[in-house]
Structure 1
Amino acid sequence: MVVPAFGHEFKSKYFTLLDPNVTLINHGSYGTTPTCVIEKQMEQCKAAELYPDEYLNETAEENYKHQVKVLAEYLKIDWRNLALVVNATVGINTVLRSIKWDFSKDKVLFHSTSYGACGNTVKFLAEYYHLQYDVVEIEYPVEDDQLLAAFEEKLSTGEYRLCMFDMISSQPGVMLPHENLIKLCQKYSTMSLVDGAHAAGQVDLQFLDELHPDFLTTNLHKWLSVPKSCALLYVNPKHHATIQTTPVSWNYTAEGCQAIKDPKTAEEIEHNDHLMHNKFWFSGTVSYAAYFCVEEAIAFRKNICGGEEKIREYQWQVQKAAIEAITGVFGPGSKLMQNSTGTLTTPGLFNVSLPLDAKYSSIQQKLSTDFNFFRRFKAQCDVVARSKKAYAPFYFHGGDAWVRFSAQIFNEVQDYVVAAEIIKAIIMERLDEQLQLQK
């Protein structure tokens, strides 16, 4: 097999739906789907309309199971522990709202850089039902040992029933020592809920069948080339009986969804092996079009791209060149967010600081501490960046301004030069406007 050269030529051949005028360096937010996979999705949409009764009642279930098995084989994990859900946030909600909480005493631990939507799910349960929670404060760049120590200080108290943590955070876009965090949870008899929204397509997931966390969810549309929106939910077998779908539906009382305690016969064992499938393949009328493209997406990555190793090799290559180019544009003092052991960056995500002149210090302080002020400021910048077709998310962390970039197989270093110049100019222009308002 001859693997084609990645970069702009690859994009023009395999990502033909992308606007050629867009400098796409924010793949991490939503994902980008190859044309052949979108065509497969369109086929599925048409198939569903040809004869809905037949499609939903006779073909959908087996196709769903087939896609899960293909995915499991590719990721090298047990298909019986997997389900497809709409996105990682749904996966997190599915878990948190399936647990039989004792609201009088149960407590959840998560971290300050958790994805806001997932943190809000915990806060919802706290506000509506009085679930208790605590937060591990994290400021990057941080060493893995320091982060683990901060979690262990909390977990060692024995106060927490569940710990929710990222594999790869959104902002900052950095890797957490997730395998050691799983082990910490097990050490202190705390359930682990792993938010792997950015994991599939960036990180190997074989550890699921080795470490057996309680729960993990990961998007397939961000980095694994599946159409929007599709995610994987992993559930440890010991929780198959209690996990329920979002929404709760017919499957809640269906015979095939009830676990058999202490199964003894082969038939009873097989029944329990299919609980995840029976519960999740149908919870109401939905479009399966994205779900049924998993096999096509994997075929693209294997047969066209040459496999995960080739993809990641190129991502690391373009990322290295991009960091040098971006820091050159951002100017003296610009740096990559990294720790001493180099564990924070992932193949597809990296963060670069944008140094700000001392004259902006009061504005910078307000942007770092006043969330609503920052949101208004960012919204103004984002509108302009999108109009110039070169968008990447920026944020303040540890008092500094950072921009999160994505590296994908269709990127070249010039993309980052163009985007960095545009983003820097937009932010500086808005800062100057704020400076004038202060006078």
Structure 2
Amino acid sequence: MAISRLNALAAQIGGARSDGIECGKDAAKEFGFAPNHRNLNHGSFGTYPKLLRSLVNHYQDEAEARPDRFIRYDYPSLLDKSRDAVAKYINAPTSTIVLIPNATTGLNTVLQNLVFQPGDAIIYFATIYGACEKTVDFITETTPAESHKVDYEFPISDQDLLGRFEDAIRSLKNKGKHVKLAIFDTIVSLPGVRMPFERLTALCKEHSILSCIDGAHGIGHIPLDLTDLDPDFFFSNAHKWLYAPRGCAVFYVPERNQHLIRSTMPTSHGFIPRPVEGKVINNPLPPTGKSDFVTNFQFVGTTDDTPYLCISAALEWRSRITYAGRKGEEAITAYNLRLAREAGVVVSTSLSTEVMENAERTLGECNFSNVRLPLCFSEVARGEHAQAVKIGQWIAKVLVEEYDTFIAIIVYNGSWWVRMSAQVYLTIEDFEWAGKVLKEVCGRVESGEWER
């Protein structure tokens, strides 16, 4: 390994401890955005500081310089350092943490490893991520498992949501079903709202149901303590809000459940088949001395997993962020929460509409705000959902091609909503601009331009 180069990169990323990066325009300089681009949709794909790109390139160079040495011998120890760093960050034992490409892989890994019997049921929620619902559909097509969706529409109170979950459990049990697993989010993707995941996890324990938390928008977004939360399965994208390069996600499985996760997706050398007389189990990779669970995920096919190795650097960079006398995690959380709330007010005021929120004001306890567009569903879309989707797609394309930005749009409950992503490199001026642009584009929709 080129240790001197690596140390130089680490020093550059960490900077002097007194060298703070102020939220807003100062932080924006740290990212590689095009000069006129406003990145208002951080929540979908994330991004990371330019300095980390040098680190990714360094590890890629090392892999190409000596492929076998790096992949077989150097990479595993570097991976362990990342696992250890992220474990400390979310307060979990390192033995419970492995890294995977994305949260969707996490759910597939859980569902395709569990063994379902006739009468087993999976509960999930109406606002589940689309790809995750399709994964549930696949499981119910290929196994004896059944599924039950908890229906509701936001803005719903946390208490109402929890009540509907318990109603679903009682209903299924009364039908003689065994509720094996419940899938729910930390923060829903679209609309972007916070779920009462802590209380949902507690209810799963109370009813002896395996809790599977889709934390795609969790790590780096909201404070997490997995030892205290103690879910049965948890996965979260580090490339969204933690500022790690794509694709990089954390997969947590407590030791009590690791025997359930026998295979990675896809199955690789670490898989241990059930004993068959005369069959020799062989792993051609160097021995690890680690648990079967950790060893299994250490090598999953030949892919570029160098983003996994950048978690420590991402955490170090985060420690330099400053805002209103705060530093590091405290600064990032305070700035983004405030900016998200203010963005919702500014954009909704510009559009003369409203922000999606419940009476408890818990939906907006995250870095998202959702604002309704001032378009009449019955008139503009003639009350047709498919037509409304086309209009939303037209708006999105216009924002990309003519305004050099993107804002996530959802057709929800008879209206169009936009999801704003607050981030350390944005300011309230960016959302004032967004409000004006959205008002202008909505006017173009009302004039019928989207149909021409």
Verify same fold: TM over 0.5. yes
| Deviation digits for residues 75-107 of structure 1 (CA, Å, limit 9, x no counterpart) | 2221111110000001110101010111x2211
How far apart are 1:303 and its partner, in Å? Answer: 3.1
| Percent pairwise identity | 29
Please say which of residues 388-397 and 81-90 is displaced more in the overlay: 388-397
CA distance in 2, matches of 1:362, 1:307: 48
Partner of 1:292: 309
Asked if 1:191 is matched to 2:206, the reply is no
Are 2:185 and 2:197, in contact at CA under 8 Å, matched by a contact in 1? yes
CA RMSD of superposed structures (Å): 2.1
2:123 partner amino acid: L
Asked if 1:282 is matched to 2:299, the reply is yes
1:116 partner amino acid: G
SS, match of residue 22 in structure 1 = coil
Gaps of 5+ in 2: 1-17, 275-287
Match of 1:223 among 241, 255, 277: 241
How far apart are 1:308 and its partner, in Å? Answer: 1.0
Match of 1:107 among 92, 107, 121: 121
Gaps of 5+ in 1: 256-269
Asked if 1:52 is matched to 2:71, the reply is no
Match of 2:77 among 37, 40, 62: 62
SS, match of residue 216 in structure 1 = strand
Give the 5 Å matches for 1:358-437: 360-364=377-381, 366-367=383-384, 370=385, 372-387=386-401, 388-433=403-448
1:28 partner amino acid: G
Are 2:375 and 2:442, in contact at CA under 8 Å, matched by a contact in 1? no
CA distance in 2, matches of 1:279, 1:113: 32
Match of 1:165 among 163, 178, 184: 184
CA distance in 1, matches of 2:27, 2:210: 43
Asked if 1:153 is matched to 2:167, the reply is yes
376 and 396 in structure 1: CA distance in 2 versus 1, 3 angstrom threshold? closer
CA distance in 1, matches of 2:57, 2:389: 36
CA distance in 2, matches of 1:195, 1:315: 21
Please say which of residues 127-136 and 213-222 is displaced more in the overlay: 127-136
Are 1:167 and 1:195, in contact at CA under 8 Å, matched by a contact in 2? yes
Partner of 1:259: none
CA distance in 2, matches of 1:209, 1:291: 22
1:164 partner amino acid: I
Are 1:167 and 1:196, in contact at CA under 8 Å, matched by a contact in 2? yes
CA distance in 1, matches of 2:67, 2:21: 39
SS, match of residue 74 in structure 2 = helix
How far apart are 1:142 and its partner, in Å? Answer: 0.9
SS, match of residue 218 in structure 2 = coil
SS, match of residue 350 in structure 1 = strand
CA distance in 2, matches of 1:238, 1:44: 34
SS, match of residue 354 in structure 2 = coil
Asked if 1:351 is matched to 2:370, the reply is yes
CA distance in 1, matches of 2:411, 2:273: 49
Are 1:114 and 1:169, in contact at CA under 8 Å, matched by a contact in 2? yes
| Deviation digits for residues 420-439 of structure 1 (CA, Å, limit 9, x no counterpart) | 222333244234328989xx
User: What is the aligned residue count?
Assistant: 411
SS, match of residue 339 in structure 1 = coil
Give the 5 Å matches for 1:123-134: 123-134=137-148
CA distance in 2, matches of 1:395, 1:84: 30
Asked if 1:27 is matched to 2:42, the reply is yes
How far apart are 1:111 and its partner, in Å? Answer: 0.9
